[in-house]
A and B are shown apart, each in its own frame.
Chain A
Amino acid sequence: MIPAPFDYARAGSVDEAIELLGREDAKVIAGGHSLLPLLKLRFARPSLLVDIGRLDDLRYVREDGDRIAIGALSRHADLALDPVLAQGCGLLARTAGNVGDPQVRHRGTIGGSVAHADPASDLATVLLTIDADFVARGPDGDRTIAAADLFTGPFETSLGSQELLTEIRVPKVDGGRYLKHVRRQQDWATVAVAAARPNGDVRVGLAGMGPTPLRARAVEDAVAGGASPAEAAAHAAEGADPPSDVSGSSEYRAHLARVLTRQALEQI
Chain B
Amino acid sequence: MKVSITVNGTGHDVDVEPRTLLVYFLREQLGLKGTNVGCDTTSCGACTVLLDGESVKSCTVLAVQADGSEVTTIEGLAGDGELHPVQQAFHENHALQCGYCTPGFVMASVSLLKENPSPSEEEIRLALEGNLCRCTGYHNILKAVQAAARAGA
Q: Which residues of A contact B (CB under 8 A)?
A: 1-8, 10, 29, 32-33, 36-37, 39-40, 49, 51, 53, 77, 100-104, 106-107, 185-186
Contact = CB atoms under 8 A, between A and B. Distances in A.
B62 interface: yes
A32 B60 contact: yes
A116 to B, nearest CB: 14
A103 B108 contact: yes
A120 to B, nearest CB: 15
A40 B45 CA distance: 17
B13 interface: no
B112 interface: yes
Nearest to A5: B19
A4 B17 CA distance: 11
Nearest to B52: A106
A196 B24 CA distance: 44
Contact of B57 (A4, A39, A40, A103): A103
A interface SS class: mixed
Given A40-B40, A101-B45, A106-B55, A53 B65 contact: yes
B10 interface: no
A36 B56 contact: no
A40 B64 CA distance: 16
A88 to B, nearest CB: 23
B48 interface: yes
B60 A37 contact: yes
Contacts of B70: none
Nearest to A54: B68
B17 A37 contact: no
- Nearest 9 A-B pairs (CB), nearest first? A101-B130, A8-B18, A106-B54, A185-B129, A3-B19, A103-B57, A101-B129, A103-B130, A103-B55
Interface size class of B (residues with CB under 8 A): 20 to 34
Contacts of A5: 17-19
B1 A36 contact: no
A36 B48 contact: no
Contacts of A37: 41-42, 60
A102 B18 contact: no
B interface SS class: mixed
B60 A100 contact: no
Contacts of A3: 19
Given A1-B40, A37-B42, A102 B64 contact: no
Contacts of A32: 60-62, 65
B109 to A, nearest CB: 11
A7 B48 CA distance: 26
Interface in B34-66: 40-43, 45, 48, 51, 54-57, 60-62, 64-65
Contacts of B127: 102
A41 to B, nearest CB: 9
Contacts of B26: none
Nearest to B44: A186
B56 A107 contact: yes
B21 interface: yes
B111 interface: yes
A86 B37 CA distance: 36
B40 A107 contact: no
A101 B55 CA distance: 10
Interface in B116-140: 126-127, 129-131
B19 A4 contact: yes
Contacts of B51: 106
Contacts of A101: 45, 129-131
A217 B134 CA distance: 43
A103 B130 CA distance: 7
A237 B54 CA distance: 40
A142 B130 CA distance: 37
Contact of A36 (B62, B108, B112): B62
B130 A104 contact: yes
Contacts of B57: 103-104
Given A5-B19, A106-B55, A33 B129 contact: no
